[in-house]
């Protein structure tokens, strides 16, 4: 039995459909990440689950029970937003205690739960500090302690690290992941940032145009995006149209030559129109002549990035592709690159 089940949720604003048939489950101890462009309806899904918004159709089940009629406070779900929403006139302790007082807990129990929650986020020494005196990262930790203190059955995090700089985001993201695992709290994490989603999720749900267009582990989704749109969303912009010349092995002819492709997303027939995606990490400078899987161009720019060089290559017809190469190649040099069949995705042109 799934802990949480969302079944066929639809929602529109001003006659504009925002969510169309959203269905997914969250299992025990699982962190599910809703990933998609801003404005796509991710927060609206969280608000519907929390009971702060009603869906036009569809249902929300908790342990097989329809909770649509249960008010937000009785659902015992924790919510945490990007803007922390801490109370500026209260100190750290009072901010964390707020939800507990609403539950009419005894003072002793409140004190105990606040101390426990602050210890979890490494903020015990800040108990009496004013929240306005804290840094962004510290405020974010207090907000997390406040969401955790009532021991929610489900934690929902809406772009919780969005206001922080990248280094802090990575550090707190790793801490958050450890905390969710340790506490065994099922969680739904919303973000538009793929790196953040990859680092935190057990399972990803990618939302596009009101629908969930792909689900899977971060590795599954990134290595096999289900459409050219998803490939672009994951930064795989090297795309070109072509036509199948043989189905097995799959060989596609394009304006840049012929390419064998080992990662077809479906079955293709000879003569079919397709879109090829060259993953940035799949190219190397050609040492030998190849009859296929080769492109020629001129280097526009080569920028060091971690242990590779992000290299922009100008090709025929004003195409510009970007590859991650092992060594730097000076601008304006002509190069020939071999593209490995394993790094080429092939999609039907109707996707």
- Out of 32, 33, 41, 293, point to the residue binding ligand ADP (CB under 6 A): 41
Name which of 42 and 141 has its Cβ closer to ligand ADP.
42
For ligand ADP, which stretch binds (CB under 6 A), given 35-43, 69-77, 162-170, 209-217? 35-43
- Residue 42 makes contact with ligand ADP by CB under 6 A: yes
Closest approach of ligand ADP to the CB of residue 29, in Å: 25
Peptide bond into 286 cis (omega under 30): no
Of positions 44, 139, 214, 238, contacts ligand ADP by CB under 6 A = 44
Q: Which of residues 4, 24, 35, 43 is near ligand ADP by CB under 6 A?
A: 43
Among the listed residues 22, 31, 33, 40, the single contact to ligand ADP using CB under 6 A: 40
Which range of residues in 33-41, 169-177, 216-224, 268-276 is near ligand ADP by CB under 6 A?
Answer: 33-41
Question: What's the CA gap between 250 and 267, in Å, rounded?
Answer: 9
Stretch that binds ligand ADP, among 31-39, 267-275, 293-301, 315-323 (CB under 6 A): 31-39
When asked if residue 13 is in the footprint of ligand ADP (CB under 6 A), the reply is yes
- Separation between Cα atoms, residue 288 and residue 332, nearest integer Å: 22
Q: Report the nearest approach of ligand ADP to the CB of residue 191 (Å).
A: 9
Q: Is there binding between residue 83 and ligand ADP (CB under 6 A)? A: no
Q: Which stretch binds ligand ADP (CB under 6 A): 36-44, 163-171, 210-218, 251-259?
A: 36-44
* Residue 259, CB-side half-sphere exposure with 13 Å CA sphere: 32
Q: Which is closer to ligand ADP, CB of 43 or CB of 311? A: 43
| Structure token pair of residue 149 | 């203190």
Select from 42-50, 57-65, 161-169, 250-258 the region that touches ligand ADP (CB under 6 A). 42-50
Q: Does 51 bind ligand ADP (CB under 6 A)?
A: no
> Based on CB atoms, which residue is closest to ligand ADP, 49 or 244?
49
Cβ neighbours for 316, distance < 8 A, ≥ 6 positions apart: 255, 256, 297
Rounded to whole angstroms, the Cα distance separating 155 from 157 reads: 6
DSSP β-bridge partners for residue 244:
252
Of these, 18, 164, 185, 252, which contacts ligand ADP (CB under 6 A)?
A: 18
A 10 A CB-CB count for 1 gives 9
| Nearest distance from C-beta of residue 170 to ligand ADP, angstroms | 22
Supply the minimum distance, in Å, between the C-beta of residue 155 and ligand ADP: 17
39 makes contact with ligand ADP (CB under 6 A): yes
Which spans of this chain sit near ligand ADP (rule: CB under 6 A)? 13, 18, 36, 38-44
């Amino acid at each position: 039995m799934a802990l949480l089940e969302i079944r066929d949720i639809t929602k529109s604003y001003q006659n504009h459909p925002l969510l169309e048939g959203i269905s997914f489950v969250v299992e025990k101890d699982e962190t599910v990440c809703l990933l998609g462009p801003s404005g796509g309806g991710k927060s609206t899904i969280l608000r519907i689950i929390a009971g702060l918004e009603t869906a036009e159709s569809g249902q929300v089940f908790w342990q097989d029970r329809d909770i649509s009629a249960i008010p937000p406070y009785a659902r015992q779900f924790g919510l945490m937003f990007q803007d922390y929403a801490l109370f500026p006139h209260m100190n750290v302790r009072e901010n964390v205690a707020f939800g507990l007082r609403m539950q009419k807990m005894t003072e002793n129990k409140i004190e105990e739960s606040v101390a426990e929650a602050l210890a979890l986020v490494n903020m015990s020494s800040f108990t009496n500090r004013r929240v306005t005196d804290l840094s962004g990262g510290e405020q974010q930790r207090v907000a997390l302690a406040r969401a955790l203190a009532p021991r929610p059955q489900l934690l929902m995090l809406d772009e919780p690290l969005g206001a922080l700089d990248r280094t802090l985001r990575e550090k707190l993201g790793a801490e958050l992941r450890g905390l969710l695992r340790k506490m065994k709290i099922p969680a739904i994490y919303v973000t538009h940032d793929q790196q953040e989603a990859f680092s935190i999720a057990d399972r990803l749900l990618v939302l596009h145009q009101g629908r969930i267009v792909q689900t899977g582990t971060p590795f599954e989704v990134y290595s096999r995006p289900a459409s050219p749109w998803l490939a672009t969303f994951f930064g795989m912009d090297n795309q070109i149209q072509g036509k199948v010349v043989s189905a097995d092995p799959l060989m596609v002819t394009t304006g840049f030559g012929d390419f064998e492709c080992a990662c077809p997303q479906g079955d293709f027939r000879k003569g079919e129109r397709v879109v090829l995606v060259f993953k940035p990490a799949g190219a190397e400078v050609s040492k030998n002549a190849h009859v296929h899987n080769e492109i020629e161009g001129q280097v526009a720019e080569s920028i060091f990035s971690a242990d590779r060089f992000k290299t922009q290559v100008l090709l025929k017809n004003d195409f510009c592709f970007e590859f991650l190469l092992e060594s730097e190649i000076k601008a304006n040099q002509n190069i020939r690159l071999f593209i490995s069949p394993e790094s080429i995705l092939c999609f039907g042109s109707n996707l």
